[in-house]
Amino acid sequence: MPTTGRPTAPGLGIDIAAVMTSSAATGVLGFVFWTVAARGYDAAEVGRASAIISSATLIAILANFSLGSLYERFLPLAGGHAQRVVRTGIAFVSCTALLFGIVFVLLGPRAALFPNWPEAVLFPAFVAVLAVYALQDQILIGLSRARMIATKNIGQSTAKLVVVAALIPLGTGAAIVWSWVLPAAVITAIIALVVIRRETAGRDGAATLPPRRELVQFFASSYAINAVGVTVPLLVPLIVVAQLGTEMNAYFSMCWLVVNTLGVLVGATAAPFIATASTPGADLRACTVRFVLLCGGAALAGCAALLVSAPLILGILGPQYAEHGTTLIRIMALTLPSVALMTVYTALARLRRRLRLAVAAQLLLGIVVVSGVTLTTRRWGIDAIGYTYLAAELLNTLILLVPTVLLLRKVAATPSGQALDSTPPVLARPDLSRFGDVEHDSVTARFAEVAAHKPDQIALHTDRGSLSYGELHAAAAGWAAALAARTEPRSAVALVGDLTPNTAAVIMGSFASGAPLVPLDTGLPVDRMTHIFDALEQQGRPLGTVVVEDGDRLSSQLGQRYPVWSADRADVAAVPAAEAPQLGVQTVTSIQFTSGSSGEPKAVLHVNGTWLSDWILHRDRFGIVDGARVALCMPVSFAAGLNVMIGSLLSGAEVTVVDPRSCTPEAAADRLTDTDIVMCTPSFLQSVADAAHGRTLDRVRRIVTTGEPVYGNVLRRARALAPNAVLTNWAGSSETLGIAHFDIWPGDPIPAGVVPAGVAVPHKSLAVDDQGRLTVTSPYLAAGYLSPASASTTFTENPDGTRTFVTNDRARIDDEVLVVLGRMDAALKIRGYLVEPAEVEAALLDCPGIREALVVADTASEAPTLTAYVAPVPGTRTPAVADIRAQLHERLPAWMVPNHVVLLEALPRNERGKVDRRALPAPAR
């Protein structure tokens, strides 16, 4: 796309002013046009011409099929496809208008409107001209040429005024119709050839349009809104004529013309706003503020003007109009603020591409108006029409007020300068044989490059605020200097806090200082923290500082033994910068304590290369690239959570933090709406899918689950939640970080049971030894354990400089796809048969009504047994244990059916969201 400059709020104001000026001038000139016609032509011919032009205009609007709404919203994203998209739309509308026009001639009041066959034959062409003429306004808006609309429409209105005056000697209705249509045809051709063709031909770049399914839904919703907007004004005059006669309809029609002209002015503010806010690089917050002020201001000014000047305006038409219409026009003037509210909500809903409520509100408005006018006008006259419209608009206000406020609050929470659509990367199936090399020595070096390249781009967005790359880099440098200024600059730094702008700076500052970071969960008991600190001391990694968010709580409990710093301390920026330490690929960056869900936690030593290698995975396989919006739904005390944060920042992505411990699934679903890639645990994904209640996350392009096995039943729900997303199972461990991933693309079948771990990630090779145990080899594994003797798994240094990690997982590799069968100590023999608990879990999850399942083996007795722990789907009847066992007997051989089935409300989980096996209750014997 050619460079046109970043869309700005002042530019939007000029565009809105141009469209409003066009609407106002067109309305005034239209009023003058009919005044000239009424004075120069026979009244019957004026009435016939008015009916023809009104019918052609309404048919043209219907023939547009709301394509204009699509152009306003998505033409800014069409890139090099803009010309083809515009040509296709114009051709479709032209053909549809011709067809609709022919049907009208054949089925309509042909004898009354068309006294001769040439007029009847030419009528479909009139409709086609008006349809394309109207569509061009929205095309120009989508092409950021809204200011051309005023020139186009005022020119056409002036020209038709001149022509209708010049043709007065003919004195026919046909002359009036030709006066209306011929200038429109000429100007339509000029705009198409001179402006639109040139503008679309200059566009280039890839289109970033949403999926076709979403476009169809948007189109259908827009068409429903516009259809109601056209149908109701068509029906109400017919009802008035039927119940009150043509004279009263004349008074109503003039009042409607005046009020509708102001309503059109209010509505005209929306189209430039939608197109501008949809343009890549537009400042959403500033554009919305300008739009709301102009839209609301126009409504309030119009309302006040009509309340004061209604008799004067109607008096121009004659005293009888003022007598019968003043009260009506004043009542209808009170609806303009509600019209503005509807305009604001619908515009924001178009941006969010969620129009269900807008459609429902418009349909309700139409039903109330038509039924109310039908029931009340015969008794209370034309004033009843005003009261009906006012009641309908007030009802709509009650429905839309809260949703509008919520949408405006979301916009207000958008950082200044941030666009609505940071275009999500187009995901393509990656070439698994090709991936980038680890070219940097440290996380710090790569992060400095990103911050220097895009200092103003948002790096992190949380409930507590946002931080740009430049701000985060500067804050991290302050922390690095403060940590380096300690008495023991390389002593460990414990971080007790959730991911916020402050703690992100602590993390990156710690990496830059060379002091190992020890991330700890805020939910850990203080006794557990001190146990970890003592372990660090005993293994030669003394703790130098504890950084906390909740300083008041932990300072009193830890402050006597350790220096406790607050994560929001402001004095770190004033510490003089120290000489940067020498950081290498094998420099220890952090000490990660494992979850300990199945035993004693182990402390793993991560190095720069560990994170840099997985950054390549995130970038080349997961699509976490520059500008991508990544939802991080895991705490950074979890190795995978810290991994995603670092990998996203090294790619220049925007990280949206969704903490599963404090964010409800319903709120999480709202926050995930505007993200491209979601990184979470299977249990959290299942919770969000449960809370979505049928809504979809159409923008999301990939969902990556990790931390525990994921089953097909969870991914089936994920596909319903995000139908356009690639579903990825990401396998790994604290010792290796990522080792494999399995992608399920839209349209691919979802496997039953547990999902395979998948193909090996970049820079890591997988093998299965003679015992069936999985091994991982890479130059970029963790450097080992803080206390190697405490671990049952081992690291081996290889002569070529790589390390091999021998896991405790049984596995097989089929056609380069890793399948993890379970832990080495989980499989057991029952009645001589080898049983994998994971297979039993898969069978349990296929049983109706079961949401979670875990099977554990009891090998303490002479005859090993299985115990199943199951949690039912919330809100459904809990299945009986006998029913569960009966279903398992249908699916499994007898020796695989658990001896005990324990029903739980939910499986117990630790602070990282993983099943805490130590918290499982013993089965009743």
Q: How far is CA 592 from CA 122, 292, 607, 782, 805, in A?
A: 79, 49, 11, 10, 16
Q: Is the pLDDT of residue 5 over 50?
A: no
pLDDT digits (tens, 9 = 90+) for 800-848: 989 999 998 889 999 899 998 887 767 677 766 777 788 888 888 888 8
| 198: pLDDT strictly greater than 50 | yes
- What is the residue whose two structure tokens read 């929470």? 413
Q: What is the 3-state secondary structure (H, E, C) of 735-781?
A: CCEEEEEEEECCCCCCCCCECCCEEECCCCEEEECCCCEEEEEECCC
Q: How far is CA 448 from the centre of its chain?
A: 29
The model's confidence at residue 33, banded by pLDDT at 50, 70 and 90, is: confident
The pLDDT of residue 1 is above 70: no
| Residues whose CB is less than 8 angstroms from the CB of residue 812 and which lie 6 or more positions away in sequence, other chains included | 768, 772, 818, 819, 821
Spatial distance between the Cα atoms of 621 and 679, rounded to a whole number of angstroms? 14
User: CA–CA separation, 847 vs 897, rounded Å?
Assistant: 13
For 244, phi and psi rounded to 5 degrees? -120, -15
Q: pLDDT: is 905 or 642 the higher one?
A: 642
Q: Which amino acid is at 486?
A: R
pLDDT at 495 over 90: yes
Contact 624, 647 (CB under 8 A): yes
Identify the burial level of 487 via C-beta atoms within 10 angstroms of its C-beta, where 0-12 means exposed, 13-18 middle and 19 or more buried: exposed
74 touches 209 (CB < 8 A): yes
The structure tokens 């919203």 sit at: 73
Which of 467-471, 757-761, 893-897 is predicted least confidently?
A: 893-897
pLDDT reported for residue 31: 77
Average pLDDT over residues 578-604: 78
Paired tokens of 923: 């089965």
Annotated domain spans of the chain: 8-209, 211-416, 442-583, 608-821, 826-919
Count the Cβ atoms, other than its own, within 10 Å of residue 435: 16
Fold exhibited by the domain 608-821: Rossmann fold (3.40.50)
Burial track 604-635 (b if 16+ CB lie within 10 A, e otherwise):
bbbbbbbbbbbbbbbbbbbbbbebbbbbbbbb
pLDDT band at 907 (very low <50, low <70, confident <90, very high): confident
Mean pLDDT (the chain, rounded): 84
Which one, of 183, 128, 192, lies nearest residue 153 by Cα? Answer: 183
Q: Identify the band that residue 754 occupies on the pLDDT scale cut at 50, 70 and 90.
A: confident
Per CATH, 608-821 and 826-919 having the same topology is answered no
First to last CA, the chain: 71
- 30-39, 606-615, 822-831, 839-848: which range is least confident on average? 822-831
Element (H, E) at 216: helix 212-244
Q: What is the pLDDT of residues 45-83, one digit of tens each?
A: 877 788 888 888 888 887 877 777 778 777 777 777 888
Out of 238-252, 345-359, 615-629, the most confident range is: 615-629
Q: Is 786 helix (H, G, I), strand (E, B) or coil?
A: coil
Locus of tokens 């139409």: 366
- Tokens 């019968």 belong to 324
Q: Does pLDDT of 425 surpass 50?
A: no
pLDDT > 80? residue 920:
yes
Instruction: Give CA–CA dist 91/97, Å, rounded.
Output: 10
User: Residue 414's pLDDT band (boundaries 50, 70, 90)?
Assistant: low
**Mean pLDDT calculated for residue range 886-893:** 86
Rounded Cα–Cα distance for residues 601 and 594 (Å):
5
- Among 3.40.640.10, 3.90.1170.50, 3.30.465.10, 3.40.50.980, name the CATH number for the domain at 442-583: 3.40.50.980
Yes or no: say if 96 and 65 are a contact pair by the CB < 8 Å rule.
Answer: yes
DSSP class per residue in 392-427: HHHHHHHHHHHHHHHHHHHHHHSPTT--S--PPP--
Say how far apart CA 336 and CA 317 lie, in whole Å: 23
Question: Per mean pLDDT, which range of 253-262, 652-661, 709-718 is the poorest?
Answer: 253-262
HSE-up (13 A, CA, CB side) for residue 191: 31
Residue type, 527: D
Q: Report DSSP letters for 661-706, one per residue.
A: TTS-HHHHHHHHTT-SEEEE-HHHHHHHHHHHTT---TT--EEEE-
870: region left, alpha or beta (phi > 0 left; psi from -120 to 50 alpha) = beta
CATH number, domain 826-919: 3.30.300.30
Which pair of structure tokens corresponds to residue 871? 């949690």
More confident residue, 15 or 128: 128
- By three-state DSSP, how is residue 899 classified? coil
- pTM for the whole thing? 0.59
Confidence bin at 507 (pLDDT 50/70/90)? very high
- 419, pLDDT greater than 60: no
Residue with tokens 């349209």: 747
Angle 411-414-416 from CA coordinates, rounded to 5°: 115
pLDDT at residue number 269: 83
What is d(CA 87, CA 622) in angstroms, rounded to the nearest whole number? 36
Does the pLDDT of residue 552 top 70, yes or no? no
Buried b (16+ CB within 10 A) or exposed e, 329-368: bbbbbbbbbbbbbbbbbbbbbbbebbbebbbebbeebbeb
